[in-house]
Structure 1
Amino acid sequence: MAESDPLIKNHLQRFQNNEICYHYLSPTIQKELILLISCEIEAAIIQKVKEAKYFTVILDCTPNFSRQEQMTLIIRCVNVNSTPVKVEEYFLQYLIVSNTSGLLEELHNVLKVLDLDIDDVKGQCYDNGSNMKGRHQGVQKRLLDINPRAMYTPCGCHSLNLTLCNMENSCGKAKDFFGTVQQQVQGLITYFEKYIKTRFVEAMMNAKKLAIEMEIDPVLPEKCQRRFEEYQVYDDIFGFLFTSEQLNLMDNDKLKDCCHRLQNFLKKDELFDVDGDALLIELKLLQEHLPKEIKISIDILNYLKRMRCFPIVRRAIFK
């Protein structure tokens, strides 16, 4: 710190010259300073999350050096104050848990301490362990019982890792490919960006066509089928907001149906996060005024922020 802070440097020099008796740099003081800094950082993160209102929780468990199970808590939300608007992830803390069965209770308690409302959780993301993603007893099911609007998404990195491992084990050419993949990183990034925009429907069609050409039964394994079904549910609810192309292709009846489907999904008791009729009116106006060069949802969000208009559409995209 003294190398970059003149005040600290002067303080240390005065102590070394016996001009003062206390240096305030003992391990206890250092730990207290680190704690104070971490509290300020945490408060700034929580403020950003509250301004966004809606957020996703990302949890992962791994044993530490003492073999105690610890859970990383990461919050994903839209940073509405940044220019341009960004979707960001913030690591908050490690949580020690006695066993994985108590993860949801620990999460609920931590959110209370952080003054975050569990009803504002609109997404949950875990690894592919049955204790986390299980439809009947997993954490995702128990959180859905509390907040049915917290859609579950399998961890993309973990899913990709499993896919690549299985590919390498079953194909010699795949092993050769991953030996040179570092030289093709940019091309790989471009491919996945395109894949995200076109979503998995096109990939499913191409995979079935290829399987038929290879005389293989075009049927996904049960686990893979469930994964695609989960993404399909997400696409059915939010898909009309993903791209401007998708939005512009919809007629009034189709758009109205999508708006009310989203309204009903985001309903809890008698409260609605989004008014379907108001959303329909704004989207019809947006179809007429949205510039053609704006394609994906994050660009639409930045456009709406600059124009300071269509608040219902902004809220829907925040989900």
Structure 2
Amino acid sequence: MNAPGNNQMIAPKIQKQLVNACAVETTNAILADLGDRWFTLLLDEARDCSVKEQMAVVIRYVNKHGEVIERFMAVVHVATTTAACLKEAIDSLFAKYGLSVARLRGQGYDGASNMSGEFNGLKSLIMKENPYALYVHCFAHQLQLVVVAVAQANQYVCDFMWIVGSIVNTSASSCKRADKLRQLEHDRKVKLLER
């Protein structure tokens, strides 16, 4: 109420600064909770809609209450998905946040050779620095592989997934269609409430 009417902070530059400030404070809170405890590193890389390779970084640790905590730390742009490039990005991230590879006790990635390769994979590069950073294949990725294999073996499941995919693609491909579907659902609920 005491601020001027034009002080709405809606300029894109200001909004980006606010978001960045929130991200910094959140990261500082995570690092404070982590303290000097051991932690595990979980990574996955993917190409975003602007066709840039991005690496998502998550850490997992046990807090002072004995609870297993998993926190998203950052999305890091990587030039390529080679193990050396990913390792360089991790080293840079660790330096930025004051994390040490010596405190790393686990690694979790998918089964791609650049990540889990026995000789030249990211797993091997990290284990050369810290042999206690044991590698575990990502269970979510393993579950996805099992679901895909089971779905492909069962024609009913295959057909169901194809139908669901078609519905999602049809409804989500157009903003107008999505708005129309929302409006139809809204109208249906209003009629049910009126009864």
TM-score, normalised relative to structure 2: 0.74
- 1:1-319 matches, within 5 Å, as 10-11=1-2, 14-15=4-5, 22-51=7-36, 53-80=37-64, 82=65, 85-101=66-82, 102-171=85-154, 175=157
- Unaligned runs of 5+ residues in structure 1 are 1-9, 16-20, 180-319
1:227 alignment counterpart: none
Looking at structure 2, the residues matched to 168 and 31 of structure 1 have their Cα atoms a distance apart, in angstroms, of 42
Aligned equivalents of 1:119 and 1:136: distance in 2? 20
Higher share of residues assigned strand: 2
Aligned equivalents of 2:153, 2:93: Cα separation in 1: 43
Q: CA RMSD in A?
A: 2.1
Q: Distance in 2 between matches of 1:166 and 1:92?
A: 32
Q: Which runs of 5+ in 2 are unaligned?
A: 162-195
CA offsets 1:111-150 (integer angstroms, 9 cap, x no match) = 1110011110000000111111111111101111111100
Runs of 4+ in 1 over 6 A off after TM superposition: none
1:273 aligned partner: none
Q: CA deviation at 1:47?
A: 1.1
Deviations 1:160-201 (A, max 9, x none): 11012112223458x39x99xxxxxxxxxxxxxxxxxxxxxx
1:313 aligns with: none
The letter of the residue matching 1:147 is N
Residue 137 of structure 1: SS of its match in structure 2?
Answer: coil
In 2, Cα distance between equivalents of 1:77 and 1:22: 41
TM superposition shift of 1:57: 0.5
Larger Rg belongs to: 1
Contact 1:50–1:116 under 8 Å retained in 2: no
The 2-side partners of 1:74 and 1:11 are apart by 41
One-letter amino acid of the structure 1 residue matched with residue 26 of structure 2: I
Aligned 8 A contact 1:133 1:140 in 2 = yes
Q: Distance in 1 between matches of 2:2 and 2:8?
A: 8
Structure 1 Cα separation of the partners of residues 123 and 7 of structure 2: 53
Which has the larger share of helix? 1
Is the Cα contact below 8 Å between 1:54 and 1:120 reproduced in 2? yes
- Check the 8 A contact 1:59/1:126 in 2, yes or no: yes
Q: Percent identity?
A: 29
Partner SS, residue 68 of structure 2: strand
Query: Does 1 or 2 have the higher relative contact order (CA < 8 Å, sep 6+)?
Result: 2
Matching residue of 1:235: none
- Give the conservation status (yes or no) of the 8 Å contact 1:130–1:138: yes
SS at match of 2:131: coil
